[in-house]
Structure formats: C-alpha cells, structure tokens
Amino acid sequence: MNSFRQIHRREQASCYEVTMRCMVGLALATTVIVITSTASTSADNSTARYGNSTAGATVRHILHFSDVHLNISKSLNASESAEIPVAYGDDAPMRLLVSALDYAKKLLPDPEFFLYTGDHVVHGELSDEYLAEAVEENVETMAKYYSTENNGTALDITAIIGNADTSA
C-alpha cells in the first residue's frame, strides 16, 4: 500500500468515514475505497472519530474500483500474463487486476455495495468489438470475486461506463 488517507466529514446527524487505499502496481493505480457510513441516533455527532463506534449506528461498506484499463490483448488469462513484462505507462495486464481483487477481497470480503466507475479498457483508438470484449472480461473477472451467485448474498453491483469504454 503506497498511500493511505482518511477523510472525516460531518453531515447533519450522520458521520461519513472514508478510507481510501491506493494500490500502485507497475503503471496502474487501482483505488479501493471503503466507505463506512455511521448514522447516529444522536443529534450531536461531533465526537465521532475513525475507529470509534456510535451507539445505535448503521454501518455500510462500499467497495469502489475504477480505471483498471485492462489490456486484454496482453493478458488473456492470469497464467499467460504472468510471463509478460509490464513497463511504466502500460495498461494493466490481467494479473494486476487479479492482484487488486485479491487484496480488496481480504480488505473487504463482504461489502454491501460494489461500484465500478468505468474505464475498463486500454487507452487509445479501439474497435467496438475490442471495447465490448474488454468490458466483458473485466466484469466477469470482478464477478468471480464479488458475484451474488457465487457468495449467496444480496450484494448490489453497479458498473458505469467510463470515457475510455466507448468509441466516438
């Protein structure tokens, strides 16, 4: 973990604690954000701090992934991509996505919500077929870790298409 930042913000009667952990691997910076929302039953929540619990609070855990920029032309599967060297500035091979998901699963094994905010594919001019295949590969890989079918939970998963995920 190359950086760690905690953000505390008081909003009306709720305290939102956001822990941002940035994992930098090779050229890819994958961000895992765990948002813990602690809704207090007290009118004054000014004493709430990270690591302390508030009586009667509801805690929510949200996992957020973004900007993987998966390079499927170099990484059709994890074992193949393990042999491919990655230089600074390259988009992510499959092994980097798998590594980030492994870490996220250890950090937050059972989130209540999974949000992926786009940029599934590599940078550059791409065909519609390549875009569709890369988005599908990325989503399928993430689903192996956090699919409701695999873990029997009611996990909400939302993916948003990023600016790199469309051809204009």
Contact 54, 78 (CB under 8 A): no
Rounded to 5 degrees, what angle do the CA atoms 92, 94, 99 make? 90
Return d(Cα 128, Cα 65) in angstroms, integer: 23
Task: For residue 132, give the nearest of 97, 167, 105 by alpha carbon.
Answer: 167
Average pLDDT by stretches of 10, the chain with 168 residues: 31 35 36 48 41 57 80 60 61 81 84 78 79 81 74 66 69
Q: What is the pLDDT of residue 135?
A: 79
Contact 63, 146 (CB under 8 A): yes
Return d(Cα 21, Cα 30) in angstroms, integer: 9
